Amino acid sequence: MMESDILDILEQVGYDGPLAEEACLLEACGRGFSSSEYVSLVTWLSSRLTHTQEPLITEDPDRCMLDTGRLLKDLCCPYKGLAARLADGDVKDTEERLKIVLFLASELQAEQMVSSKPPADAEELDASLQDLRVICEALKLPDPAGRDARDAFTAVEQQVKVLLKQLPEAHVGDPAFKSSLRPDQWGELEKISGVLSAEYECRRRMLIKRLDVTVQSFSWSDRAKVKIDRMARAYQSKRYSLSLRSAVSAAHLLAARQDLCYMVKTSSGSCREKTSCAINRILMGRVPDRGGRPSEIVAPPPEMPAWQKRSDGGGGHGGNRGAGGWRGGRRAGRWSRGGRGGQYYH
C-alpha cells in the first residue's frame, strides 16, 4: 500500500507531525490543499529539500499548490503530468495527492542518505590531513584541522622561507629536479610512480618470501626444533615490521638534492673508512672445491655396449675377429698361445 510506504519513509526522515498515522494521512490527502495538516506536511518536506530556513512553499493553499507544482517540475517528478496538473489546480484525487507526498519524502530520504555517506576519497583526505599535521608539527605551526587548506599551505611556505634564511648558505643543496611540469605531465608522473611502486612491491614480496623460507629451513635440524618458539619470537616481530609497499613517492623527487646523483662505490676510500674493521685482515684458508661447472662434467659411460653386426669370416678357434685380431681368446698385440699346434703368434 502506498500510504504504508509513505509512513515508513516519513519515520525515517524524522517527521513526527499529526499525519504520522495512516487514518490521519488518508483523511488529509482526501481533503488535499484545503487541509492545513496536508499543507504543513508538504511545506515541511520542501523546506528540508531546499535547505532554507524560510520555506519556498508557503502555508497559503493556493500559493502552496503552485509552488509545489514548480518544485515537482524542478525535481523531474516521474509521475507523468502530475506537476502540470498540480500547477493548474487539477489534482483532485487522493491517490495523486499521496503520490506528491511519496515523491517529496523519497527525494528527502535519498538526499539524507547521500549526505550521510562519506566521500569515496575520505581515507585519502584523512591521510593528506595527517601528513599536513606532521608538517605543521615539525614547523611548530597550529593544527591545520578546521582551517582553510590554502591558508595552511601559505603558512607552511612562509615558515619554510624563514627557516631557510637561518641556515648556512650551502646547507641545503640545489634540487635534483629543476623543471616545472604542466598538470597533464604531473598526471603522467603519478602513473609512472604507480607502475614503479607495483614493480617494487613485487620484488619486496619475493625477497620477503625468500627470507621466510630461509628462516624456516633453520628449524629443520633436531637442535632447532626444541627452540622453534624462541626463534619465532625473535623473528616474527622483525618480520611483520617489513612493509610490502614502497614509501617512495613523487614528493621524494621534489625533495631530492643534487648530491643524490653522485654515486659512490662501496670500495671507495671514504666508505671504507667507516666500514673497515679488524675482521677484514683475516684471510680465509683453502676451502674445498664444490664444483658446479657444467663445462667440466664428463658424460657417464653407456650402461650397455652398442650392438654391432658380426663381420664376415669370423668364428672358429684362432680366427681373426675384428680389426684388432683375436687369437685363442686373447687379444693380438701380446704374446699368447694359439689354439692350434701350440704356435706362438705376435
Note the pLDDT of residue 207. Answer: 93
Closest by CA position to 37, among listed 97, 103, 84: 97
Burial 128-159 (b: 16+ CB within 10 A, else e): eeeebeebbeeeebeebeeeeeeebeebbeeb
Q: What is the pLDDT, as a whole number, of residue 209?
A: 93
Rounded-to-integer distance, Cα 261 and Cα 173, Å? 12
| CA 95 centroid distance within chain | 52
Tens digit of each residue's pLDDT (9 = 90 or more) over 202-247: 999 999 999 999 988 888 888 888 888 888 888 888 888 888 888 8
Burial readout 195-233 (b: 16 or more C-beta within 10 A, e: otherwise): eeeeeeeeeeeeeeeeeeeeeeeeeeeeeeeeeeeeeee
Place 31 in a pLDDT band, splitting at 50, 70 and 90. confident
| pTM of the model as a whole | 0.38
Q: What is the pLDDT of residues 85-101, one digit of tens each?
A: 887 777 778 888 888 88
d(CA 343, CA 346): 10
pLDDT of residue 344: 42
Q: What percent of the chain is predicted at pLDDT more than 90? A: 6
pLDDT at 342: 45
pLDDT at 25: 87
Q: Quick one: pLDDT at residue 338?
A: 44
The stretch 53-58 carries a mean pLDDT of 50
8 Å CB contact between 149 and 125: no
The residue with greater pLDDT, 216 or 333, is: 216
What are the residue boundaries of the structural domains of the chain, listed by start? 2-116, 122-166, 183-261
Is pLDDT of 16 > 60?
yes
Least Cα distance to 108 among 13, 195, 11 occurs for 13
Task: Give 170-194 pLDDT, tens digit per residue.
Answer: 777 888 888 888 888 888 988 998 8
Tell me the three cell numbers of residue 270.
671514504
> Of residues 213 and 282, which shows the higher confidence score?
213
pLDDT at position 117 is 62
- Interstrand relation of 326-327 and 330-331 (parallel, antiparallel or unpaired): antiparallel
pLDDT at 142: 85
